[in-house]
Amino acid sequence: MAYVVTEPCIKCKHTDCVTQCPVICFHEGANFLVIDPDDCIDCGACVDPCPVNAIYPAEAVPAKWQDYIALNKQYAQEWPEITQKKDPLPEAGDFAAVPEKRELFDTAPGTGDAG
């Protein structure tokens, strides 16, 4: 199994998670990060640093967010790697407590460590 980034990350993208990862798992989209399940070693170090509690082990992803397991796998192949923290999105505070953000998921890539 692997760890999975779920809906609370959308439009927040704090990136505290990436600095704790001992391997290179995280990939950056425009308003979301994903974990590559093929690289994750299941250490759990990324869970507590996330201010919006977006990360779960795959076997514990809430039922309403099961589709994020496939989204992490898919977009890890399409988005660039990110290993360094950057500023959260400017709207992160406004969106931290928004309960339904799935329709805001942006499939565009982020800049990763390049920007």
Interacting residues with ligand F3S (CB under 6 A): 5, 9, 12-17, 33, 49-50, 52, 54-55
Cα 71 from Cα 67, distance rounded (Å): 6
Cα 53 from Cα 101, distance rounded (Å): 14
Q: From the list ligand F3S, ligand SF4, none, which binds 52 (C-beta under 5 to 8 Å, kind-based)?
A: ligand F3S
Which residue's CB is nearer to ligand SF4, number 81 or number 109? 81
Q: Tell me which H or E stretch contains 75.
A: helix 67-76
Q: From the list ligand SF4, ligand F3S, none, which binds 9 (C-beta under 5 to 8 Å, kind-based)?
A: ligand F3S
